[in-house]
Amino acid sequence: MVATAGNPWGLFLGYLIFGVTGSRASRAGGQIINGEDCSPHSQPWQAALFLDNEFFCAGVLVHPQWVLSAAHCFQDSYTVGLGLHSLEARQEPGSRVVEATLSIQHPEYNKPFLANDLMLIRLDELVSESDTIRNISVASLCPSAGDSCLVSGWGLLVDGRLPTVLQCANVSVVAEEECTELYDAVYHPSMLCAGGGQDRKDSCNGDSGGPLICNGSLQGLVSFGQAQCGQVGVPGVYTNLCKFTDWIEKTIQAS
């Protein structure tokens, strides 16, 4: 059962139940679980994607005119919020709301199923850097098991409530062998796993397309996970952006 972003889907694969994390309504991979309020504007590259004034996915500013997000969040057009700490205050000081009418999914998205889950969204205007809005570079080196990373988002909390402000959680990169074994039915080299620790910190529903920051660079995007977030020994799955630096650069230059 597949649906557009904003309408989460679940799928039974072997003994695993997955969900993509695009909507705020139920897990499709992405609420921040057991995190804490981010320091205001500590993640100035964080973007919020709105459709008909409803938040449905996150993104990351990687260029003054381009936002990266998960391909499963694709829409014909977007309203993109930048420099936000609270989604309740769309006009908070230092924030910008920009329209976007062009987005480009990776040509191999969903080939095979769930793989290559990224897209570029071109903003209709250039955005100037400020204290609250800044782009971040994409990691050129792939992560190592045990690397500590930060995931952030406005997805549902562990108690099912929506957060009032951006949430942050530290998660560790999981060895590729463990990720492959756990997600055997769908694992692809375009993915990386992080989280699953005893602290139960995790991304979850509503965090799709949001950033996984490792060693000061954008290492991943929230993609999917098991239907129940924050389980010990069950990491979330992220798009492994070190595999896509050439495509990102060439797509931006060509457009």
**Nearest one of 181, 177, 173, 176 to 14, comparing CA atoms:** 181
Distance (Å, whole) CA 193 – CA 187: 10
- State the catalytic residue, choosing from 95, 203, 208, 223: 208
Distance (Å, whole) CA 170 – CA 244: 24
Name every residue whose Cβ is closer than 8 Å to that of residue 48 and which is 6 or more positions away in sequence.
55, 58, 59, 80, 81, 82, 84, 87, 154
The yes-or-no answer on residue 72 being catalytic is: yes
Tokens, residue 64: 């003054």
C-alpha neighbours within 13 Å on the C-beta side of residue 42: 16
- Catalytic pick among 23, 26, 69, 72: 72
Could you say which of 117, 188, 203, 223 is catalytic? Answer: 117
172 assigned to active site: no
Q: Tell me which residues are annotated as active site.
A: 72, 117, 208
